[in-house]
Chains A and B, each alone.
Chain A
Amino acid sequence: MNGYLAAVLGFAVATGVLPASAETIFVSNEKDNSVTILDGATLEVIKTVPVGQRPRGITLSIDNKFLYICASDDNHVEVMDTTTYEIVRTLPSGPDPELFVLSPSGNPLYIANEDDNMVTVVDVEAGNAIAEVPVGVEPEGMGISPDGKILVNTSETTNMAHFIDTATHEIVDNVLVDSRPRFAEFTADGKQVWVSAEIGGTVSVIDAASRKVVKTIGFEVPGVNKEAIQPVGVRVTKDLKLAFVALGPANRVAVVDAQTYEVKDYLLVGQRVWQLAFNADQSRLYTTNGVSNDISVIDVANLEVTKSITVGNQPWGVAVTP
């Protein structure tokens, strides 16, 4: 019944009953050292901008005026003006920045140094590193609680989610998850952290207060061998109804009921899907498909892939301004 209603609503969106959004999509191309910028209304590429070497994680400032870019092989973060598309400054990051998360207050930026077993805390206004937190081997996933008090970092070879107090910069707890955890996402209510495990093939749902795994979600796609199911990017809708999990070389995004943890659907996208980003009203989800060099557009209401757009070589990160 709900599905039917959602489908009707989705149809309304698709047929243009609602006004087209003016959103802009930013995609980092790991192999090309560039960022592709797309118009969310036409879904066409506006511009491709050269950036530092091996751009991976990207995220927006709270006011959406700036895009932060991890230039992994340049060992710094670049800051792009989201209206002029120019790199306006660089920030220190510690070695090999891969993914990061911005404090909900807009400052600081918490950066995972994949090559250095460290999380670097950077004051984006002053432009300097203010702390380093030693974590496990190959830190990558970064999530932050809505109140900004708890940072979660995942370390890929240590197989843990480290809970870090952002006031003291100390680890307050460690939660063991499955092999090679790559992404951490707090739910909008701050009560849960969803952590994907690429090699383990699962997503662990951690209760943020007790720091216990309350559910481990597994995936099975008919016709796809289980080794190819490698969860990476995770996004949970603000209303806590749905979670989307990018399954890497399984070329699918899993749709999970965020209340029952039941997998509802697998949406076929491009090849080796890694990162995901919603647009502002969460009507759309964008995916980066590293091997097919494109992004897919998912209609969230309809749970349908509506379009794929070619970007640069090996698209990695994605962020969307309203």
Chain B
Amino acid sequence: MRDTRFLIIFAAAIGLLSSSAQAQEQQIEVPIAYLTQRIKSLPPLSLVDQPTTDNGLMGARLGIEDNNTTGKFTGQHFLLNESVVPESGDVTATFRDLYAKGNRVFVIDLPAGQLLTVADLPEAKDALLFNVRAKDDILRNDQCRANVLHTVPNYAMLADGLAQYLVWKRWSNWLLVAGTTEDDRLYAEALRHAAEKFSATIVEERVFDAAPGSRRTDSGHAQIQKQMPVFTQDAEDYDVLVVSDVEDAFGEYLQYRTWDPRPVVGTHGLVPTAWHRSQEQWGATQMQNRFARFAGRWMTERDYAAWVAVRSVSEATTHTKTADLAAVSAYIRGPDFGVAGFKGQKLTFREWDGQLRQPILLTTARTLVSVSPQEGFLHEFSELDTLGFDRPDTTCELQ
């Protein structure tokens, strides 16, 4: 190694640098852009949850660190170009600017609508976008895009992961309670789909209209204690209450307050997610420790999605030995790709919709309860494809 380097320096000095030797020693720069926008959000419902201002971004930053530890040995250097667009700012202009500066790989931390806006820009044809935020099923179906890969699981994957466990537990009769936001509606739809797919029954549906207002109230618990039993009174006989409250407006209040003594699952209670602090299986302890040291807080689902996105790029460039977009993109979608993400098996992307295949964790606030797919849910090719939209189900036509 040392001898080779000496030889190259010597060769360079006399102007005889061969291109192959150059490729050996030359550092490859791999820029990755992180694009997000400040979006006004309510403070967490629970004071136990600490609000973050860098959700997702920290995952990408740590991914870059990990890539560079590897890159040190492969002569590759990764760089994160972060753009946080202000609330009133123009995401499109920022994307164009990042593109003009040479970025071709983007970690997109934006809601579905804005993700599609940037993905459909003419420049984006020549870019690879990782969706780390939008769980909308439509992005994996009718509104899928050939230049977008999704490292965050969609609602259907989460709902299916939960449904498999409930069916295994023989909690097959569900009371579905949904909030009134668009995301609540989408998640509830995924839960209905999951019930049908795994032969569970939604015995009744109720809608909880959580009026927007202050999240902090003195002696508020007294009112909630009366409100929630009444809301869940006289339901058809059910095993488990499945709640869809994506923005955390009321779901937490259902636990221990239902009229009938029933567990709460869904967005609250037992929650299907890509990542959680309680996950320590498959070497995840190291990831959790590394992240906590790095970010000063716990790793979230979005941090994990961003970390996997950034790591996937390194996984590709290590093998392709180039930062060329076409090569990297083809490798990631190809049969040889696999990224290790502390889930006990390699993670790959579905070729039909660009969704990352991954086990789904089922967690409570303090522990990991299970990991789906559950044993016995078989699949011809990959059991991970029992979660979400399988090849025969998809309405995605990638172009």
Instruction: Assess whether A173 is interfacial by the CB under 8 Å rule.
Output: yes
Task: Report the Cα distance A26→B318, complex, angstroms.
Answer: 39
Instruction: Assess whether A267 is interfacial by the CB under 8 Å rule.
Output: no
User: In the complex, are the beta carbons of A225 and B283 less than 8 A apart?
Assistant: no
Instruction: Assess whether A200 is interfacial by the CB under 8 Å rule.
Output: yes
Q: Which residues of B contact A171 (CB under 8 A)?
A: 73
User: In the complex, are the beta carbons of A160 and B73 less than 8 A apart?
Assistant: yes
Q: Which residues of A contact B286 (CB under 8 A)?
A: 96, 114-115, 138
User: In the complex, are the beta carbons of A200 and B290 less than 8 A apart?
Assistant: no
Chain B residue with minimal CB distance to A171? B73
Chain A residue with minimal CB distance to B65? A137
Contact indicator per residue, chain B 322-350, by CB within 8 Å of chain A (1) or not (0): 00000000000000001110001110000
User: Of A174, A199, A228, which one neighbours B73 at CB under 8 angstroms?
Assistant: A174
Known: A138-B286, A225-B383. Is A200-B338 also a contact (CB below 8 A)?
yes
Instruction: Assess whether A176 is interfacial by the CB under 8 Å rule.
Output: yes
Q: Which residues of B contact A179 (CB under 8 A)?
A: 315, 338-340, 346
Task: Report the Cα distance A155→B289, complex, angstroms.
Answer: 16
User: In the complex, are the beta carbons of A249 and B344 less than 8 A apart?
Assistant: yes
User: In the complex, are the beta carbons of B66 and A199 less than 8 A apart?
Assistant: no
User: In the complex, are the beta carbons of B340 and A156 less than 8 A apart?
Assistant: yes
User: Of B74, B346, B384, which one neighbours A200 at CB under 8 angstroms?
Assistant: B346
Q: Which residues of B contact A157 (CB under 8 A)?
A: 66, 69-70, 311, 340
User: In the complex, are the beta carbons of B69 and A117 less than 8 A apart?
Assistant: yes
User: In the complex, are the beta carbons of A199 and B69 less than 8 A apart?
Assistant: no
Contact indicator per residue, chain A 131-160, by CB within 8 Å of chain B (1) or not (0): 000001110000000000000000111111
Instruction: Assess whether A162 is interfacial by the CB under 8 Å rule.
Output: yes
Instruction: Assess whether B382 is interfacial by the CB under 8 Å rule.
Output: yes
Known: A159-B318, A174-B74, A200-B338. Is A136-B346 also a contact (CB below 8 A)?
no
Interface size class of B (residues with CB under 8 A): 20 to 34
Instruction: Assess whether A172 is interfacial by the CB under 8 Å rule.
Output: yes
Instruction: Assess whether B100 is interfacial by the CB under 8 Å rule.
Output: no
A interface: dominant SS: loop
Q: How far is the CB of A296 from chain B (nearest CB, A)?
A: 21
**Which among B70, B289, B319 has the highest number of chain A CB atoms within 10 Å?**
B70
User: In the complex, are the beta carbons of B318 and A176 less than 8 A apart?
Assistant: yes
Task: Report the Cα distance A225→B346, complex, angstroms.
Answer: 13
Q: Which residues of B contact A155 (CB under 8 A)?
A: 69-70
Q: Which residues of A contact B383 (CB under 8 A)?
A: 225, 227
Q: Which residues of A contact B48 (CB under 8 A)?
A: none
Known: A157-B340, A180-B340. Is A137-B69 also a contact (CB below 8 A)?
yes
Q: Which residues of A contact B319 (CB under 8 A)?
A: 176
Q: Which residues of A contact B73 (CB under 8 A)?
A: 136, 158, 160, 162, 171, 174
User: In the complex, are the beta carbons of A160 and B70 less than 8 A apart?
Assistant: yes
Task: Report the Cα distance A305→B1, complex, angstroms.
Answer: 45
**Which among B66, B315, B382 has the highest number of chain A CB atoms within 10 Å?**
B66
Contact indicator per residue, chain A 186-219, by CB within 8 Å of chain B (1) or not (0): 0000000000001111000000000000000000
User: In the complex, are the beta carbons of B382 and A159 less than 8 A apart?
Assistant: no
Q: Which residues of A contact B311 (CB under 8 A)?
A: 157
User: Of A156, A173, A176, which one neighbours B1 at CB under 8 angstroms?
Assistant: A173
Q: Could you tell me which residues of chain B, from 126 to 149, have a CB within 8 Å of some CB in chain A?
A: none
Contact indicator per residue, chain B 1-20, by CB within 8 Å of chain A (1) or not (0): 10000000000000000000
Chain B residue with minimal CB distance to A225? B383
Chain B residue with minimal CB distance to A72? B285
Q: How far is the CB of B380 from chain A (nearest CB, A)?
A: 11
Chain B residue with minimal CB distance to A211? B1
Q: Which residues of B contact A160 (CB under 8 A)?
A: 70, 73
User: In the complex, are the beta carbons of B338 and A199 less than 8 A apart?
Assistant: yes
User: Of A115, A158, A201, which one neighbours B70 at CB under 8 angstroms?
Assistant: A158
Q: Which residues of B contact A115 (CB under 8 A)?
A: 285-286, 289-290
User: In the complex, are the beta carbons of B283 and A156 less than 8 A apart?
Assistant: yes
Known: A138-B286, A159-B318, A176-B318. Is A199-B70 also a contact (CB below 8 A)?
no
Q: Which residues of B contact A162 (CB under 8 A)?
A: 73
Task: Report the Cα distance A173→B1, complex, angstroms.
Answer: 7
Q: How far is the CB of A229 from chain B (nearest CB, A)?
A: 10
Task: Report the Cα distance A159→B69, complex, angstroms.
Answer: 11
Task: Report the Cα distance A114→B285, complex, angstroms.
Answer: 10
Q: Which residues of A contact B74 (CB under 8 A)?
A: 174, 176
Task: Report the Cα distance A159→B340, complex, angstroms.
Answer: 9
Task: Report the Cα distance A198→B340, complex, angstroms.
Answer: 9
Q: How far is the CB of A209 from chain B (nearest CB, A)?
A: 14
Task: Report the Cα distance A50→B92, complex, angstroms.
Answer: 61
User: In the complex, are the beta carbons of B345 and A159 less than 8 A apart?
Assistant: no
Contact indicator per residue, chain A 110-122, by CB within 8 Å of chain B (1) or not (0): 0000110100000
User: In the complex, are the beta carbons of B318 and A199 less than 8 A apart?
Assistant: no
Q: Which residues of B contact A176 (CB under 8 A)?
A: 74, 318-319
> What are 5 A-B contacts defined by CB distance under 8 Å?
A155-B70, A173-B1, A201-B346, A225-B382, A227-B344
Q: A114-B283, A157-B340 are known; give 17 further A-B pairs, CB within 8 A.
A: A96-B286, A115-B290, A136-B70, A136-B73, A138-B283, A155-B69, A157-B69, A158-B70, A159-B70, A171-B73, A173-B1, A176-B74, A179-B338, A180-B340, A227-B344, A227-B383, A249-B344
Closest 8 CB pairs of A and B: A227-B345, A174-B73, A158-B70, A199-B340, A199-B346, A180-B340, A179-B340, A137-B69
Q: Using CB atoms and an 8 Å cutoff, list the residues of chain A in contact with chain B.
A: 96, 114-115, 117, 136-138, 155-160, 162, 171-174, 176, 179-180, 198-201, 225, 227-228, 230, 249
